[in-house]
Amino acid sequence: MGKGLHRDTVAVEVLAPAKVNLSLEVLGRRADGYHELMTVFQAIDLCDVLTIEESDTLSLTVEGDAPASEENLVLRATRALWARSPGRGARLHLQKEIPAGAGLGGGSSDAAAALVGLNRLWAAGLGQEELVGIGRELGADVPFFLYGGAALGAGRGDVIEPLPPARGVWFVLSTPPFALPGKTGRIFSQMRVDEYTDGSRTLAVAESLRRGRLSQADLYNGLHAAARREFVDLLGYVAGLRRASHRDWTLSGAGPTFYSIATSSSEADHVAASVASLPGRRFVALPVTAADQL
């Protein structure tokens, strides 16, 4: 993940891809207050770009749409790596393309990119397991982004098993313009016991990826009903998407982005055009493999 800008590695540029959850099931409540999940993540080629240069001080500049928390995660990742392996400082520049707080994992991906980039720049020599250990402390989605591609996530979504990425599919994303403040905690607290599921839908999606045939009917998000109860605007938004496109849309993560899958580039463009009059931002993205990110 990332490439050296200069041969002497005084600067690195790392791509930080977004993700969608092809399946997300809530299995139940844990003793620590969190919920046990089973999910399938898929990285997509909608990417932030993190550029890191060696410096005597630590600084971060951000271009584009990023709240303070997103910046903090990059700086927290930097400090966490520095605590393990003190290097010089770093001048970080984050170019945001992924909408923030949208269910696409942008902040977590930026944190993973910072860990990978700094590990290289500072020649810290930390292995994958050590980076994953640091990543887990920063956020439950960070370990996935240290693997990339597609993966099954268990526990809080932070216990990762790589999967073959989706093939022959295009993702059409529609991110509504409204923010969902405190969304993750609020949506989890709305979960009803009868909405817990057993993980079998997620295992079926993993199997579809292994067989190389994923379809819209496979997709599932167990947070959807709770999200609609807590944030009623989502209900109208997805109804609008369905009406305009005559197809199903799936919530990614805790939202509010919805996505639909197409089987050709022209179909994806057609779907995106059909919902172009709805408020918000649209993206057409391809799955990325772990190797693409090297």
Task: Report 151-170 residues binding ligand C5P (CB under 6 A).
Answer: 156
Under the criterion CB under 6 A, does residue 224 sit at the interface with ligand C5P?
no
Per the CB < 8 A criterion, the answer to whether 29 and 35 are in contact is yes
123 torsion bin: left (phi>0), alpha (psi -120 to 50), beta (else): left
Catalytic residue among 141, 158, 183, 218: 141
Under the criterion CB under 6 A, does residue 121 sit at the interface with ligand C5P?
no
Under the criterion CB under 6 A, does residue 120 sit at the interface with ligand C5P?
no
Under the criterion CB under 6 A, does residue 112 sit at the interface with ligand C5P?
no
Query: What CA–CA distance (Å, rounded) separates 237 from 89?
Result: 45
Query: What CA–CA distance (Å, rounded) separates 90 from 14?
Result: 14
Taking the least distance from each CB to ligand C5P, the nearer of 35 and 228 is 35
Helix (H, G, I), strand (E, B) or coil at 81: helix
Under the criterion CB under 6 A, does residue 185 sit at the interface with ligand C5P?
yes
Q: What are residue 287's phi and psi, to 5 degrees? A: -65, 145
Spell out, one character per residue from 6 to 25, where the chain touches ligand C5P: x when CB under 6 A holds, - when not: --------------------
Residues near 293 by beta carbon (within 8 Å), at least 6 away in sequence: 1, 2, 15, 17, 43, 148, 149
Query: What CA–CA distance (Å, rounded) separates 17 from 151?
Result: 14
Under the criterion CB under 6 A, does residue 67 sit at the interface with ligand C5P?
no
Taking the least distance from each CB to ligand C5P, the nearer of 183 and 228 is 183
Under the criterion CB under 6 A, does residue 227 sit at the interface with ligand C5P?
no
Under the criterion CB under 6 A, does residue 28 sit at the interface with ligand C5P?
no
> Which residues make up the interface to ligand C5P (CB under 6 A)?
33-35, 37, 140, 156, 184-185, 188
